Amino acid sequence: VFEPQNILVTGGAGFIGSNFVRYVAQEHPSTHVTVLDALTYAGNRANLEGLVPSHVEFIHGNICDAELLNKVVPGHDLIVHFAAESHNDRAIENAQPFLETNVDGTYQLLVAAQRYGVRFHHISTDEVFGDLPLNSTELFTENSPYNPSSPYAATKAASDHLVRAWHRTYGLYTTISNCSNNYGPYQHVEKFIPRQITNILQGRAPELYGSGLNIRDWIHVDDHSRAIWSIVTRGRSGQTYLIAANGQTSNREVLSLICEAMGVRADAVHFVTDRPGHDRRYALDATKITTELHWHPQHTDFARGIEQTVRWYVDHRSWWEPYKAQTEELYNHRG
Ligand code: NAD
Ligand code: TDX
């Protein structure tokens, strides 16, 4: 078992990164965390509020900045790499920042990890495998071929390939996890679940793309954090682990659960223009991580998880309200 003493967390001011940092601070308090985050539109210092600076140090900087990495990376024994441009709809508008951060940024970090002998855990997504037909029961596994459909997924796939190449060519100690769709507190209001909750809270109609029948495989962000910890402490170098929690649900069903939790009728929904190239279904087989590392999801009641998430957005209006109007601007522009 590897016990990291000094973790560098990239993208630690974003949704999943900040939940992971909070998890480490609570469950593994002897581990020091350095957060490196560029504070893009998606990064927010408030996501790390309340954490003790002696345990969690914040550095404002860009992962594409090689000189900065030469100063920041030495002294750490593990990099957990969350930093990315993460939203599909933005990538469809302009993929340039996705190529810079997701591809070049990952490359710069790999070079620094190799130079200073630091283990590397790469956070990736189920989207690298493309999509599955709606009416099938097929699941992706660690051996499924890469087949990304969207500009975002293509850049994540590229970053996974770079990590694999650094392992094979330079012997860097690497692990990769590909996780399904996360939900929970601190998720940006551009994403499906927070967008619908906050639309309803502001008296706007929820918006479903296309038929609303597309399926995502949902997992609570805390289960993702625990899975990452199991991989970085007990995973084998060069390996990929899929992380998922049997969460397949159609967008319509997710919206019904949100409406139920909020006590509103589910029929006032707007069906809007579909996302170009919209992936139909994601679904992952998590057998490897459950059998090899004995990780199991704890948040198995999705309706309850949605209720708690709704409660969080109701209780944290001052966290999301400043970003809501500009985010909806993006969607208005999308038409
Ligand atoms: P997010 O958009 O909420 O956060 C991304 C963070 O990275 C932000 O804090 C941002 O400021 C930072 N960042 C962006 N570019 C940077 C740069 N060049 N240098 C330094 N920091 C930079 O994203 P998220 O939803 O928390 O996703 C985190 C990771 O998890 C991503 O790698 C994403 O691909 C992956 N992932 C997300 C999901 C999901 O459902 N959200 C599922 C599977 C995998
Ligand atoms: O308003 C909406 N209406 C709607 O129907 C939005 C924002 C989305 N959708 C649909 C599109 C998807 O089928 O809901 C589903 C989820 O959409 P997103 O929240 O944008 O997530 P997705 O595209 O599935 O990607 C997410 O999971 C994988 C993350 O954003 C990625 O970073 C991660 O890699």
Reduce the DSSP state of residue 284 to 3 states and report it: strand
Ligand of minimum distance to the alpha carbon of 215: 2
pLDDT at residue 335, as a whole number:
55
Query: What CA–CA distance (Å, rounded) separates 42 from 37?
Result: 10
pLDDT at residue 266, as a whole number:
83
Active site residue 152: yes
pLDDT at residue 268, as a whole number:
86
The best mutation among 86, 160, 309 to test binding of ligand 1, ranked by most ligand atoms within 8 Å of the C-beta, falls on 86
Domain annotation for the chain: domains and CATH numbers: 6-188+220-247+282-301 (3.40.50.720)
* Ligand 2 touching residue 32 (CB < 6 A): no
- Taking the CB of residue 271, how many other CB atoms lie within 10 A of it? 13
Q: Report yes or no: 269 and 205 within 8 Å, Cβ to Cβ.
A: yes
Please report, in tens digits, the pLDDT of each residue of the chain (335 residues total): 999 999 999 999 999 999 999 999 999 999 999 999 999 999 999 999 999 989 999 999 999 999 999 999 999 999 999 999 999 999 999 999 999 999 999 999 999 999 999 999 999 999 999 999 999 999 999 999 999 999 999 999 999 999 999 999 999 999 999 999 999 999 999 999 999 999 999 999 999 999 999 999 999 999 999 999 999 999 999 999 999 999 999 999 999 999 999 999 888 899 999 999 999 999 999 999 999 999 999 999 999 999 999 999 999 999 999 999 999 999 987 75
Pairing of strands 215-220, 248-250: antiparallel
Residue matched to tokens 């790499």? 81
Query: Where do the DSSP E strands lie in the chain?
Result: 6-10, 32-37, 56-60, 78-81, 119-125, 174-179, 181-183, 207-209, 215-220, 239-243, 248-250, 270-272
The best mutation among 122, 181, 224 to test binding of ligand 2, ranked by most ligand atoms within 8 Å of the C-beta, falls on 181
Residues facing 60 on adjacent strands: 37
Which of the following is catalytic: 37, 85, 107, 127? Answer: 127
Query: What CA–CA distance (Å, rounded) separates 184 from 197?
Result: 12
Active site residue 127: yes
- Taking the CB of residue 92, how many other CB atoms lie within 10 A of it? 15
Reduce the DSSP state of residue 144 to 3 states and report it: coil
Active site residue 131: no
Query: Where do the DSSP E strands lie in 51-173?
Result: 56-60, 78-81, 119-125
The dihedral built from the CA positions of residue 245, 249, 253 and 255, taken in this order, carries a sign that is positive
